[in-house]
């Protein structure tokens, strides 16, 4: 099974009031742990890192394959 992922929902995400993204890796780790427990084997994400924290090592820790999507900001692309 596959799912599209973004950590924007996390309370630890800096846009939700946290001044520092230091707690973000723990939140992403918890998400990937849950996805693995639910049987997801593949994740598509739009970015390879969030606030400088690479997502690949977290996915690898749980045996989840990653696909990087391209975030299109305009239709002219």
| Domain definitions of the chain by residue range | 2-68
Quick one: pLDDT band at residue 77, thresholds 50, 70, 90?
low
- Mean pLDDT in the chain? 89
pLDDT on residue 18: 66
Alpha-carbon gap, residue 47 to 2, rounded angstroms: 16
pTM for this entry: 0.84
Do 41 and 14 contact (CB within 8 A), yes or no? no
Contact between 62 and 36 (Cβ < 8 Å)? yes
Q: How do residues 27-44 score in pLDDT, each as one tens digit?
A: 999 999 999 999 999 999
């Amino acid at each position: 099974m596959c799912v599209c992922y973004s950590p924007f929902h996390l309370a630890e995400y800096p846009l939700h009031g946290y001044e520092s993204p230091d707690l973000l890796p723990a939140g992403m780790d918890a998400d990937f742990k849950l996805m693995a427990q639910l049987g997801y084997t593949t994740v598509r994400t739009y970015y390879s890192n969030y606030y400088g924290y690479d997502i690949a090592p977290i996915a690898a820790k749980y045996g989840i394959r990653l696909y990087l999507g391209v975030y299109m900001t305009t239709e002219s692309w």
